[in-house]
Structure 1
Amino acid sequence: MIELSRAAYDDIVYHAYSGGEAEICGVLAGTHGDDGKPSVVAETYEAENVAETPEIRYLIDPEEQFELIEAVEDDGHDLVGFYHSHPTGPTHPSETDAARATWPGHSYVICALDGYPFVGSWRWRGDDAGFEQETVSVVSER
């Protein structure tokens, strides 16, 4: 399970809309849950999509990813995972998303914009185990 603060959820959706026909991407920060405990996303950190075909792919520059993860930790958060959008697609990971996933135990949130915005999440379990769908809840600030 993953909990998104209302602000984090809104940030993801607004960022997705701002991308137009291109996929957007970023980093999720908060408390990383494990052993049945939910991850809690308090903040999002936007990244630039440097993919050659941003209409159908996303890619965070490795140097920017490193800098964002350092910023997450400097702000006192854990890396919860990553997010990106599918402007015309579903909220489940594509074959390319699965092939490029490299952070076992972390969440990959996808915002679909085909119609009403919908946010789904999957936790990457590793190469052989693949993705496991997570329940997404949006919580008010505490």
Structure 2
Amino acid sequence: MAGVTISRAAAAAMLDAAAAAMPSEACGLLLGAGDRIERATIAANVASDRARRFEIDPAHLFAAHRAARGGGGTILGYWHSHPSGLAEPSATDAAMADPDGRIWAIVAGRGIRWFRAVPHGALHGRFDPIEAVFDPD
């Protein structure tokens, strides 16, 4: 199970945004290099039913791609919250995810669980759980 390293600031940003968005789902991007998440962005959730689904604002996603081309952090994956559910991917998450190896982090309560979107994953045929450790800084 290949894992990731995450900055404490990125994890705190996700937890804080999820709490502030209640009862809606919060969402954003995971930026960094290699398997090190340096920053979690907070994006507007533009889904029609924000209490049960998430959709990252396309303008936020495009801006992150532009920034990455200019030397900013690479988009390593995505995060979102499950305000009234478990910190694990749903069947809807699996249907939305490309099996591209990107990281998916799911926040529920004050916890975060980590997954990689892969073909034939253990969860819903799309996700494998991975471990995350905090950056020692």
TM range (shorter): 0.7 to 0.9
Mapped contact 2:64–2:75 kept (Cα < 8 A) = no
Q: Does 1:8 align with 2:16?
A: no
> Does the 8 Å CA contact 2:98/2:118 hold for their aligned counterparts?
no
SS at match of 1:83: strand
Separation of aligned partners in 2, 1:65 and 1:103: 18
Q: Secondary structure at the match of 2:95?
A: helix
**Structure 1 contact 12–44 (Cα < 8 Å) conserved:** yes
Aligned residue for 2:117?
A: 124
Instruction: Report the Cα offset of residue 111 of structure 1.
Output: 0.5
The 3-state SS of whatever aligns with 1:125 is strand
* Count, aligned residues: 131
Corresponding residue for 1:54?
50
What TM-score do the two structures reach when normalised by structure 1?
Answer: 0.85
What is the percent sequence identity of the aligned residues?
Answer: 30
Superposed displacement of residue 63, structure 1: 3.5
* Residue 60 of structure 1: how far off its partner (Å): 1.3
Q: Which runs of 5+ in 2 are unaligned?
A: none
- Greater displacement, 96-105 / 14-23: 96-105
Look up the SS of the partner of 1:121 in the other structure.
Answer: strand
The one of 12, 18, 21 aligned to 2:20: 18
Could you give the per-residue CA deviations for residues 16-51 of structure 1, whole angstroms, max 9, x where no partner exists? 11101000000010113xxxxxx1110112110001
Deviations 1:72-111 (A, max 9, x none): 4435322110100011111110000000012611000001
Take 1:6 and 1:28, find their aligned partners in 2: how far apart are those partners?
A: 13
**Structure 1: segments with no counterpart, 5+ residues:** 33-38
